[in-house]
Amino acid sequence: MNMATIVGGFLALFVTAAAFMYLSRHRTTPNVVGRVLRLLAFAATAAIVIALLPSTLRDSGASAGYLLGVPVVAAVGPLVADLTGRAVGITTTVGALVMLVWGLILGLGIGLWFVVPALLLGMAAVATIPSRRVAATGNPGE
């Protein structure tokens, strides 16, 4: 275990704790499950990127920028969309698909690690789909 793995783990724990604190305060807020899953996907992506950075730099050199940058952009995009409140569902779906495809393109090397955040983003995309009752009535409380 190297220093990058430790730093990545602590960063992921910090973002995870912040997400759960947010969830405990805002339980009645609509779409809070999707927001927490997007935060957890970002935390997992950040931890994976920080842990893989030294070995990727050693193996790939300057190519590590895009090898690890694509998953970071795919995880940050849904968070930005969530903060602005625009196109959250489609951005989360595209982010999940991009991260999953990128993980499959990179194969069994470093790409396999990005399947977990891709699944978290996929669950967040499903969580942002309104139920039929909410879509029909417009009231989430019914």
The tens digit of pLDDT for each residue in 63-80 reads: 888 888 899 999 999 989
Q: Is residue 141 part of a domain?
A: no
Q: Is residue 10 part of a domain?
A: no
Residue range(s) defining the domain that contains residue 64: 38-127
Q: Into how many domains does the chain fold?
A: 1
**What is the average pLDDT score of the chain?**
79
Rounded CA gap, 15 and 119, in Å?
18
Question: Confidence class of residue 85 from pLDDT cuts 50, 70 and 90?
Answer: confident
Q: Is residue 6 part of a domain?
A: no
Q: Is residue 100 part of a domain?
A: yes
Q: Is residue 75 part of a domain?
A: yes
Q: pLDDT at position 19, please? A: 67
pTM of the model: 0.74
- Look at residue 142 and tell me whether its pLDDT is greater than 70: no
Q: Is residue 4 part of a domain?
A: no
Question: Confidence class of residue 28 from pLDDT cuts 50, 70 and 90?
Answer: low
- Look at residue 102 and tell me whether its pLDDT is greater than 60: yes
Q: Is residue 17 part of a domain?
A: no
Q: Is residue 81 part of a domain?
A: yes
